Structure 1
Amino acid sequence: MDILDRQQEGPIVYMNRTHTPSFWTKFIELRETDRLQHLKKMVEVRHESGQAEEEQTGWSWRELLNSFFGIKITGDGYKGTRKSPDSYNLYNRSPDFRNNYGWSIALDGSDYSALKHSGIGVYLVNLTAGSMMAPHLNPTATEYGIVLRGTGRIQIVFPNGTSAMDAKVTEGDVFWVPRYLAFCQIASRAGPFEFFGFTTSAHKNRPQFLVGANSLLHALHGPELAAAFGTTEERIKRVLDGQREAVILPSPVATPTGRREEMMILETMEEEEMIMGF
């Protein structure tokens, strides 16, 4: 938290820390007409983003019904149009990713032709007890999920870092994650956590992971990343190299120990899980 809270600036920060004016200081220094124009752009971008998300979601539901179930939405309701395509058994497909803590499968239009017409992708994830799908975001699609077995938690955060949802889910529950919002799925210690779902794009989703050995932060490692967090390169490197696993991360008891920092992190995670009832 110390690293994440150090930088209080917006998307553009000063490399020279001798003078770092606050956002509101810079905003007040603008001319009145420029301030109004800036606020107008912020409102328009927010409005357009919301409209695009609504249109994309509505279109995906219509195409899903049409392509998978032979149902077409008309002004009079639902109407059958054609025979459904052949089924596809996800359990017969080898996982796209697997380690000691779980596996995941993602299906898109290049794997199953019916998805090209529906405009959606399908996925299946299985996490071992206490494991977590590393925090990540979807750059191209909204994600919908259905819990098939087990219990776990779904955590989602807004782009500004505040919590959008932190909920316990169990078999039969449905959840959804808007595009661009960071999130993770965590299995309870009671047993495996398995969920299935779809994304609103038939192209490869290519989720961007925020932590782990394949974190996108590794590609940005350097003085620029350190300046963005308001800390040193050495400290950023220790943080990035702290997690050796990728995509699916182990529970605290399965994580290698040995360093004082790691032990402190594990103790904190265990305390939080006890508070949440896991």
Structure 2
Amino acid sequence: MATARVRTIPFLLLLLATLLCAAASVASSREDDGGRRPGRCVRQCEDRPWHERARCLQECREEREQQEQGRHERDRSGSRGDWRGKGSGDEREQQEEDRRRPYVFGRRSFRRIVRSEQGSVRALRPFYEASKLLRGIRNYRVAVLEANPRSFIVPSHTDAHCICYVAQGEGVVTTIENGERRSYTIREGHIFVTPAGAITYLANTDGRRKLVIAKILRTISVPGKFQFFFGPGGRNPESFLSSFSKSVQRAAYKTSSDRLEKLFGRQDKGIIVRASEEQVRELRRHASEGSQGPHWPLPPFGESHGPYNLLDQRPRIANQHGQLYEADEHSFHDLADHDLRISLVNITAGSMSAPLYNTRSIKIAYVLEGEGHSEIVCPHLAHGGESEHGRGGGRSERGKSRWREEESEEEEEQGQHEEAGQGYHTIRARLSRGTAFVVPVGHPVVAVASRGSNLQIVCFEVRAEKNEKVYLAGANNVLKQLDGAAKELAFAASEREVDEVLDAQREQGFLPGPEESGGQEEEHEGRHGRPEEVSETLLRMATGV
């Protein structure tokens, strides 16, 4: 017995040593992997031109983060459609953050609804699920397509209109509508529209850079919901044609089930696939032979003539602090059916946009490049307004009915206690690449670029017809139009003192940022004394217009 024990001890020691060595090896490999990741990105980007290296490094690191995040999302998100569910701790944390800032959505708020080794499509959940304050845009969704160099997005159609802005790269887009196929070359700055039901496919023809497209989807069938339908050649998910019964498929195509399975059956490459150099050249050739005219002369009403490049146009406002480019139905006829204006805002490093509000449009914005912050003035949150996500989610029907009654009573009671102009809540949010934010009608907003880089934002303004941008500061300040008596009564100061404040800023649209103008502010305060009080009154009046 003792001899057996003696023999067992060396065996246990050997086993323990083996386990310790294995654990050390795993830990070492993890440390090496963690140490190599930045080096891999550096080596991957070292052959790029110097002005592209920073962006290349950022994309490489973001791609690695997305790969790690994808492992955790695999069970929660499908290859198409939308998602539901309570989500993980990270999702609940993000929802809690969104409650405090119901108009701002960081990169983590996007969920991948299409995934492939060659790219992805990410989308925000419906706005009305994010906050009751966003019910006015319940029919709109935000999505972002990212496709690797020399990749191909297989033919599909959606049950929503897609208004797209090319944020980066170049490629070819083809649509088949009304029996006519049109192919166009697209590049950074282009806007194009793919109508609901039109067969569409794209290719990234650049051999080095990703193709990134930010898009607004205007849903039709179900408010805030859309679906992809992948047709011939659909690869994981399978083509919708394969969902018909085998007998119907054989009758429709007059061929065997085996051949139909080969064409329409499920494959493993995904819906964004790698294309050969020869295939890319062929797609590019079709685009060069297709319709060329992007916008001049203007096409007949109802006829689509392809993409429109914002960056090729003269900016509507431009100075050393920034530029504003705009397109609406008058400049780009494809927007005529969507009551939408698209703008590109480029704020110079250290500068800011002039405070303004829209009279009719709800602005949906997406940050393309740079960093900074935004401030949105909201009266709803100051009064304890509704900003909760999916209130009533998970309740029984009886509970929901009771909740609706209580909600109605709460709103009625709240309305009795609210007084106009009794306070505003400023939503201040950090902006970086991939951040989306919404500015409701009448809400004053300002965006400030950090001192390190320009801040570029693409804006989709919903319900743009007859909308007016009302500037609250700068050379085109609307408050300058008040007559003298109104200025004195509104600001409790002399007309001269009010004019000194309103006329001090000579720039228009884009202004020096807070850090740039700090010294001037101290100088004005030391010279007059009263303008500080006038400025406070000006802010109260501006936000209550």
- What is the TM-score normalised by the length of structure 2? 0.35
2:487 to 214, 225, 230: 225
Compute the displacement of 1:197 (Å): 1.8
Structure 2 CA distance, aligned partners of 1:71 and 1:84?
Answer: 14
The aligned residue for residue 170 of structure 1 is 432
Secondary structure at the residue paired with 2:138? Answer: helix
Secondary structure at the residue paired with 1:234? Answer: helix
Q: Report matched runs for 1:259-270 at 5 Å.
A: 260-261=523-524
The aligned residue for residue 141 of structure 1 is 361
1:69 to 186, 190, 194: 194
Compute the displacement of 1:120 (Å): 1.0
Q: Report matched runs for 1:9-48 at 5 Å.
A: none
Q: CA RMSD in A?
A: 3.4
The aligned residue for residue 91 of structure 1 is 311
The aligned residue for residue 516 of structure 2 is 253
Kindly provide the CA deviation profile for residues 8-54 of structure 1, in whole angstroms up to 9, marking residues without a partner as x.
xxxxxxxxxxxxxxxxxxxxxxxxxxxxxxxxxxxxxxxxxx99973
Structure 1 CA distance, aligned partners of 2:526 and 2:345?
Answer: 29
Higher relative contact order (CA 8 A, sep 6+): 1
Paired AA for residue 319 in structure 2: N
Do the aligned partners of 1:108 and 1:204 also contact (CA within 8 Å) in 2?
A: no
Q: Report matched runs for 1:105-254 at 5 Å.
A: 105-159=325-379, 160=421, 162-203=424-465, 205-251=467-513, 252-253=515-516
Structure 2 CA distance, aligned partners of 1:90 and 1:263?
Answer: 44
Q: Could you list the runs of 5+ residues in structure 1 that have no partner in the other structure?
A: 1-49, 269-278
Secondary structure at the residue paired with 1:91? Answer: helix
Give the count of matched residue pairs: 214
Greater C-alpha Rg: 2
The aligned residue for residue 40 of structure 1 is none
Secondary structure at the residue paired with 1:185? Answer: strand
Do the aligned partners of 1:147 and 1:172 also contact (CA within 8 Å) in 2?
A: yes
Compute the displacement of 1:186 (Å): 0.6
Secondary structure at the residue paired with 1:226? Answer: helix
The aligned residue for residue 137 of structure 2 is 57
Kindly provide the CA deviation profile for residues 62-85 of structure 1, in whole angstroms up to 9, marking residues without a partner as x.
8744893333643695477xx986
Kindly provide the CA deviation profile for residues 211-266 of structure 1, in whole angstroms up to 9, marking residues without a partner as x.
111100011141212211222222211111111111100134378959821679xx
Do the aligned partners of 1:157 and 1:165 also contact (CA within 8 Å) in 2?
A: yes
Structure 1 CA distance, aligned partners of 2:193 and 2:521?
Answer: 51
Paired AA for residue 174 in structure 1: A
Q: Could you list the runs of 5+ residues in structure 2 that have no partner in the other structure?
A: 1-130, 142-158, 164-191, 198-219, 230-302, 380-420, 533-545
Structure 1 CA distance, aligned partners of 2:351 and 2:320?
Answer: 10
